[in-house]
Amino acid sequence: MNFFRSIAIILVSYLNFSVAENSGYWQQSVDYKMSVVLIDSVRQLACSSTIIYKNNSPDTLREMYMHLYPNTFQIGSVKHREYMNDYGRESRAQYFKDNLEGYESTIRVRNFTIAKEEDIILLDYKVDDTVLHAELKKPLFPGEEIRIDLDWNHHVGGMVERAGYIDGQYNMAQWYPKIAAYDEKGWHAEPFHAEGEFYGEFGNFDVTFELPERFIIGASGVVTSGNPGWESVRVDTSVNFDSWLEKFEDTYQEPKENKFRKVRFIAEQVHDFAWVASPNFLYEHEKWSNIDVHVLYNRVNASDWNRVVRHRTVRALKWLTDNFGKYPYPQVTNTDRIRSGGMEYPMIVMNGSDSESLIVHEIGHIWFYGILGNNELDEAWLDEGFTSAQTRDYMIARYGSKGFDMEYDDWVEPYQRKYWSFSNRLHSDQWYSIRYITSGYDEPISRSSYLFKNGSAYRQNAYTKPSLMLNELRYLLGDSVYYSSIQDYYKSWEFKHVNEKRFISSIEKTTKKELSWFFDAWLHDTRVMDYKIQSWSKSQNTDGSYAIDLSIVSLGNRYMPLLIETELEDGTSDRQWWSNHLWRTSDTIRYTVSSKPIRITLDPDVQTMDIDFRNNTTKMDHKFIFDWPGMSYNPRDTIVYRWLPSLYYNHEDSYIPGLRIDRTYGHWEKKRLWLNYATAKDSVSNKNNFYWSYLNVYKPVHMLRHSKLKLWGFNQPGLQEFGMEIEKTWSKTYRKSPYHISRAGFYFQPVVDTLRTNLFDPGKLAVIYLKYKINNKLIDFESEISSSVDPYSDWSFSRITFVSSVNSSKSFSTENLVKKFIGFTFGGYRGRMFAGKIWTDKIGVPNQEGYNIEGNSSADMFRLSYLRDEESFLGFNEINKNYHMAGEGNIRGFVSQNEKGADAVGSVSSEIFMVNKQADGKGFLEDTPISVELAFFADAGIFYNNGSTRKLADTGLGIRLSSTVYEKPLYLRLDFPFILFKDGNRIINDRGWIISFQRGI
Ligand SMILES: [Zn+2]
């Protein structure tokens, strides 16, 4: 240990104590000395620890707590039980649901003692889940010191969440018995929850590792003796990487199994210690501003990591230092944890990719979490919110408002760089949280992580919402005051525990502003902000200037000062702050501008979380773009119009070219208009027909949080229809299946034109309906009750329908024969049950409202212009005759077999399928350029008409091809129903095949 460095740290700490802001502040001090032996063959760590604990608190302690975090990765743990109750992230819960086989970790403690001076003062201890609780015979008085000794073994399970063994590599975090934090609120001995991170005491770590020499090791701290192995795998960055690697792999001599290396790492003023070791690491080093930057990456990821990760790490260090303050440690190590995601520890980060955002986020945590040590379990926003904000600010500062590297990021295709519009990164984050805070499921930010209703709520409240709060704070204070107040906070609380109160009083002290109105609404309540320009007027003064009366109202319940921009006719603009915001829902502002005003906008730089910008301005911006498939473009201050050409065809009108135009504003507004013009003259009117269709989906901003209203009308070749529907969607927690969707609506069809569609019987029809659907991952259930509206309708009927579908799939293991020999990687089952009954009079129901035997519901088919009539597929009648669209009876073999519809149906469809999709290294299924699915299907049903019964069935094989061209998913299904049955007799199938662009179930 460097003596002078320690003295310096003590001095700095002492000086810090003397400032008024943290007078009376105290924190415990905990020094660890550990010896760790890695026995790779059994994935065991054999260790011993000596811990010196000093009670700096004014309290007398009669007990001690330690965390044994690895014990959580066992069936039945607190974490497991919470996952089973929907808490935490679904992706993480999956390991537990899959039974954790091969992933269990354990930590066992032996020879545990606590001594004060020469006295053993341990009375007894017990371990429950992840917590060790020790009772003391004699109390530990303020200012006293104790020594804790223990031997322990850690069986390293597979990599789950942040730590474990993966592909020969040890990612070791939360790996040792760790003293629980004790602060002014007492002990923080919470178990390892499904959601929630850590809280530790500052101190020094002195850790000696003994491990097979093959392993290259990196850790929190600096190497004080022994060889971590870096030089033996150091990349020569002065030459081409691929040729270096080739040569390296030819010449590298891996040390023998029975040889060991012994390395000692010392880390000072840290509250945690982590390490990684792998026989496959490569190493790069750079010195920046006296800080050693180490990068360790696995050879499998070397082509992505070489050089760029080192450069990005240095850039992140520099940016963070410039904006928040000095990096106080002698080194930083950026390591490759192989599995996606990332995690921060003092002086070391473990990253799952070379992504620049990820690097800035995790390195940024060394400032906010590492150096300012918050209780991550109770106030996760204090580190995640800061790192999310600083990552976004960094990316925008470096790459412009899009916030990513347009030139080198490999997820963008060259044509997308050229033609796509990309969202502003801040706007995307704002939309993401606006959706949440207006969903009806919002929770306040300041809540312990394990209390959030589910993983999405945690993500919103720990990360995005507080990052947007900090963005508003920056907007309020201005960049320079914002950064200097955070620098003050950082300086005052370096190597100490921070919390909300310490943060806010630090900001208030530097800014000399009272800000509780701002923080309380953000942190302790679920308020929304929505200011609106109610009205404005202008009048010209005698000197040529203009006086403006602007009246604004607050439709929400969160107050904010606003920047008001007035654009003037002469091309200039006037900006001023309105700060009369507190506890006020409306105000009229009078001001003068030099020339004629043409537009007024509240918050012109879109920095606040005003949930609806449409009412912030007297004139919204508009943008007209091509509707590229897969392109998501959602500015907050612009209405976007997307256009796409469309083409219909029928015998009467010939080709009918046109346009589809969508007008959207976030999730609040969607209007869709089709306009098409026939190229041939109508045989009756002798005019070219004009067709249109209009859909308006409206979502109220402040009321009916779960509901949407849909209005539509169209005059399309063959049919006119008008309708309206209210839809309500809800689930137990935010964005978590099962979803319940109920719809109530009606439609009427005044005109059917059988020259242009064969799907409808002619006549007038109006229908009113109620639908209810439960959308689950595995099973969906749908029901509908509907009735004709008499006397408008030419028919009279009532109908009740139930549909239930199941979908289950799994990837094949490597030993699976189908995978081994035929190359199919993934398989499953789909099933669907349908039951329905129609009550009607002698006239019966029209074709469009009855149950079709084979599927092909009229309403579903009419929605696709190429299925409206026999020639609609650009004149290829054969396609129409053999087309199958799943629905209703779904006995697909009976397509075009002239089986008439039914009044009552009970039917079942099933498919067993396998696909050749590839799983990537991270376990996600990836589409091959063309993925092929083979399926065996069988459909059977019983159909009633006025007392007569038909029993129909089919079975056959299908082949389905799917691909993506320019992000547009394409799907082609060819099914061969080679056996057909009717009432128990096999019948001849004169159509050997059916075709579809939709799934069979
Ligand atoms: Zn983070």
- pLDDT for the residue numbered 925: 59
* Higher local confidence (pLDDT), 72 or 101: 72
Query: What's the pLDDT tens digit per position in 516-559?
Result: 999 999 999 999 999 999 999 999 999 999 999 999 999 999 99
Ligand 1 centroid to Cα of residue 943, in Å, is 58
Ligand 1 centroid to Cα of residue 362, in Å, is 6
Ligand 1 centroid to Cα of residue 951, in Å, is 60
- Asked if the model's pLDDT at residue 12 lies above 60, the reply is no
Ligand 1 centroid to Cα of residue 458, in Å, is 12
- CA 993/CA 977 separation, integer angstroms: 7
Query: What's the pLDDT tens digit per position in 406-417?
Result: 888 878 889 999
- Asked if the model's pLDDT at residue 454 lies above 80, the reply is yes
What is the 3-state secondary structure of 903-934? Answer: CEEEEEEEEEEEECCEECCCCCEECCCEEEEE
- pLDDT for the residue numbered 34: 98
- CA 109/CA 934 separation, integer angstroms: 54
**Average pLDDT of 388-414?**
92
What residues contact 581, with CB distance under 8 A and at least 6 apart? Answer: 559, 560, 561, 562, 587
Q: Which helix (H) or strand (E) holds 94?
A: helix 90-97
Sort strands 29-39 and 44-54 into parallel, antiparallel or unpaired. antiparallel
Ligand 1 centroid to Cα of residue 687, in Å, is 65
- What six digits make up the tokens of 430? 């704002």
What residues contact 813, with CB distance under 8 A and at least 6 apart? Answer: 819
Sort strands 29-39 and 203-212 into parallel, antiparallel or unpaired. parallel
Query: Which regions of 424-544 does DSSP assign to beta strands (E)?
Result: 496-498, 531-540
Sort strands 331-336 and 291-298 into parallel, antiparallel or unpaired. parallel
**Average pLDDT of 389-409?**
93
User: What is the band of 811 on the pLDDT scale with cuts at 50, 70, 90?
Assistant: confident
Contact yes or no for 274/219 (Cβ under 8 A) = yes
Contact yes or no for 365/373 (Cβ under 8 A) = no
- Asked if the model's pLDDT at residue 3 lies above 90, the reply is no
Query: What's the pLDDT tens digit per position in 973-988?
Result: 999 999 999 998 998 7
Query: What's the pLDDT tens digit per position in 339-386?
Result: 989 999 999 999 999 999 999 999 999 999 999 999 999 999 999 999
Ligand 1 centroid to Cα of residue 135, in Å, is 35
> Nearest to residue 369, comparing CAs of 238, 601, 202?
202
Query: What's the pLDDT tens digit per position in 985-997?
Result: 998 776 689 999 9
Ligand 1 centroid to Cα of residue 29, in Å, is 25
- Asked if the model's pLDDT at residue 769 lies above 80, the reply is yes
> Nearest to residue 750, comparing CAs of 723, 710, 711, 768?
723
- Asked if the model's pLDDT at residue 226 lies above 60, the reply is yes
Rg (CA), the chain: 34
- Asked if the model's pLDDT at residue 920 lies above 60, the reply is no
Query: What's the pLDDT tens digit per position in 551-585?
Result: 999 999 999 999 999 999 999 999 999 999 999 99
Ligand 1 centroid to Cα of residue 192, in Å, is 17
Ligand 1 centroid to Cα of residue 12, in Å, is 28
What is the share, in percent, of the chain residues with pLDDT greater than 70?
96
> Nearest to residue 412, comparing CAs of 624, 638, 242, 632?
632
- pLDDT for the residue numbered 5: 54
Ligand 1 centroid to Cα of residue 757, in Å, is 57
Ligand 1 centroid to Cα of residue 343, in Å, is 7
- Asked if the model's pLDDT at residue 18 lies above 80, the reply is no
- pLDDT for the residue numbered 16: 45
Ligand 1 centroid to Cα of residue 9, in Å, is 27
> Nearest to residue 603, comparing CAs of 574, 564, 575?
564
Ligand 1 centroid to Cα of residue 667, in Å, is 28
- CA 944/CA 906 separation, integer angstroms: 9
Query: What's the pLDDT tens digit per position in 603-659?
Result: 999 999 999 999 999 999 999 999 999 999 999 999 999 999 999 999 999 999 999
Q: Which helix (H) or strand (E) holds 383?
A: helix 381-399
Ligand 1 centroid to Cα of residue 365, in Å, is 7
- pLDDT for the residue numbered 192: 95
Ligand 1 centroid to Cα of residue 347, in Å, is 15
Ligand 1 centroid to Cα of residue 361, in Å, is 6
Ligand 1 centroid to Cα of residue 198, in Å, is 12
Ligand 1 centroid to Cα of residue 213, in Å, is 33
Question: For residue 671, how far is the Cα from the chain centroid?
Answer: 26
Ligand 1 centroid to Cα of residue 389, in Å, is 11
Kindly report the average pLDDT of the chain as a whole number: 93
Ligand 1 centroid to Cα of residue 880, in Å, is 54
Ligand 1 centroid to Cα of residue 368, in Å, is 9
- Asked if the model's pLDDT at residue 320 lies above 80, the reply is yes
Residue 70's region, left for phi above 0, alpha for psi from -120 to 50, else beta, is: alpha
Ligand 1 centroid to Cα of residue 374, in Å, is 13
What residues contact 49, with CB distance under 8 A and at least 6 apart? Answer: 32, 33, 34, 148, 149, 150, 152, 176, 177
Ligand 1 centroid to Cα of residue 219, in Å, is 19
Ligand 1 centroid to Cα of residue 322, in Å, is 20
What is the share, in percent, of the chain residues with pLDDT greater than 90?
86
> Nearest to residue 611, comparing CAs of 511, 515, 722, 702?
702
Ligand 1 centroid to Cα of residue 297, in Å, is 20
Sort strands 968-982 and 985-987 into parallel, antiparallel or unpaired. antiparallel
Contact yes or no for 903/850 (Cβ under 8 A) = yes
- Asked if the model's pLDDT at residue 17 lies above 50, the reply is no
* Higher local confidence (pLDDT), 790 or 582: 582
Contact yes or no for 477/485 (Cβ under 8 A) = yes
**Average pLDDT of 669-675?**
97
Contact yes or no for 744/783 (Cβ under 8 A) = no
Ligand 1 centroid to Cα of residue 259, in Å, is 38
> Nearest to residue 175, comparing CAs of 219, 113, 221?
219
Contact yes or no for 32/204 (Cβ under 8 A) = yes
Ligand 1 centroid to Cα of residue 566, in Å, is 39
Ligand 1 centroid to Cα of residue 122, in Å, is 37
Contact yes or no for 473/508 (Cβ under 8 A) = no
Query: What's the pLDDT tens digit per position in 232-287?
Result: 999 999 999 999 999 999 999 999 988 999 999 999 999 999 999 999 999 999 99
Ligand 1 centroid to Cα of residue 71, in Å, is 23
> Nearest to residue 182, comparing CAs of 274, 71, 56?
56
- pLDDT for the residue numbered 964: 86
**Average pLDDT of 754-780?**
94
- CA 315/CA 67 separation, integer angstroms: 35
Locate all alpha helices (DSSP H) within 813-953, ordered by sequence. Answer: 817, 858-862, 877-881
Ligand 1 centroid to Cα of residue 311, in Å, is 21
